[in-house]
Each structure stands twice: as C-alpha cells, then as structure tokens.
Amino acid sequence: MQHRASVLCAAVCLSLIGWPQAGLTAPVLLPDGRDILPLPPAAGSYAQQADVQAYESTRALKGSSRWQLAQNDADLKPQHVIDDFSCAAGFTLNPEKLPSLLSLLNTLADPLEQRVTEEKDFWRRPRPFIGNDAAICTPEARTRLTTSFAYPSGHTTWGWLVASILASALPDRSTQIMQRGRIFGESRIVCGVHWKSDVQAGYVNGGAMFAALQDQPWFVAKMATVRAELGSLRTRSTPPNTKTCTMEHEAATNIF
C-alpha cells in the first residue's frame, strides 16, 4: 500500500498528529487507521460478495422498526448519541445532566471526523448506493453522501468510541452498552450507506482510538468526572423509554 510503503519518518510523524482543542493543554492524539485497518475487500472477493449480499438483503427493511432505528442512529450530534445509549445503560442519559460527558464528546467530535475523513479520502471506496436507485434511510443526505467515501464508517467509529467510553464508566452495563455500539454500526448497513466491511472497520477504528486515549492526561481527568457524573445521575435516574428498548432488543438479534 502506498501509505504503508512511505518512509518510516513520514509514517511515524503522521501517526502522531493531534488536533488542538480549546481548553486543553495538549492536542487530542488519535491513531491513523490507514496503517491499522485492513484493505477494503477487492472486487470479486468473498468479502465483497458478503458486502453485496448484506446491502441487497437489507433493502427489504425499508419502513420497518429496524429502518426507523437506523434513521435515528444517523444523527451524530453528541447530545443525541448520549441519549441513544439510555436503554443500554439501564437509565435515561439526559445530556443536560451530563455536562462532563457532553463536553468530552464535543472535544472528540472534530478530531475524530478529521481523522476518518483522511482515511476515507485515502481509500476512496464508493458507497453501496452509488450507481443504483435503491432507497437509503436518509434520502435528504443522498447528494452529500455521494461525494464522500465509505471506508471506514465514521458513524460506526464514533458509535464504538462512545460505547467504549460509557462501558468504561459503567462496567456493570458494559455488555449491553457494547451491544448497542454494535447495533449503532449495523444501522449504517440497514441505512444502505455503508458496506458491511466499512462497519467492521469502524469497530476496529473506534477501539483503536479509545485505546490511544487511555494515557492522555486530559482524557484521564475527563473520564474521572464522567464516572462521577454518571454515578450521581444513576442514583436519581428515570427508566428509559420501553418502546425504544424493545426496538433495540429486536435489532440485536439481526444477522447481516
């Protein structure tokens, strides 16, 4: 691969690039998926055939409750994503009552988007709906998505990173939270805007980013406040929406 075959210094320097953020004394350092992720599936490969099968089979989900969940999961605003994990957490995650968590996600949002954009522009993989008129769950975004690339899935990267943060802060709910992170990624397959392998790469991408954040002092300090904040809210929490939880429970049984 061209990027991986570059001189050692260039590769190392690129992997250490960070993004300055207001209020932080050090940049946000995120690993470079161009040197971590596998190549996207080649044309005619078994992996690409699996991608096509997943895309074609999920077109029949239009109008279903799973389609509605995919539409919901398309919203990446931090305050919306926080609430998306309420059922998994076992109590309502009101972003207005979780200012430290909201601040953390706002700090990470732009660096993550910039990193994923670099990765997508490197591989330049077309999205599955390109060249056909099959429905996607966010038709209003079709034109915009046509000019962006598929691999890896940025939504999945973001959802897996958020899930990892919440699972770390609420370890007794980590199974449910990470399951919701998986569902969040699979929503992009259902939506018709990402291949299955784009989503799988997003899980790896988000996990690598979470690992890289562990010893960054600003992140360690933020996580301490996030844990305290979630613990406090939990003691005076309200139950999540039953209808939403049922929809997510059903989504967890889907196979793509």
Catalytic residue IDs: 155, 188, 194, 198
What residues contact 231, with CB distance under 8 A and at least 6 apart?
none
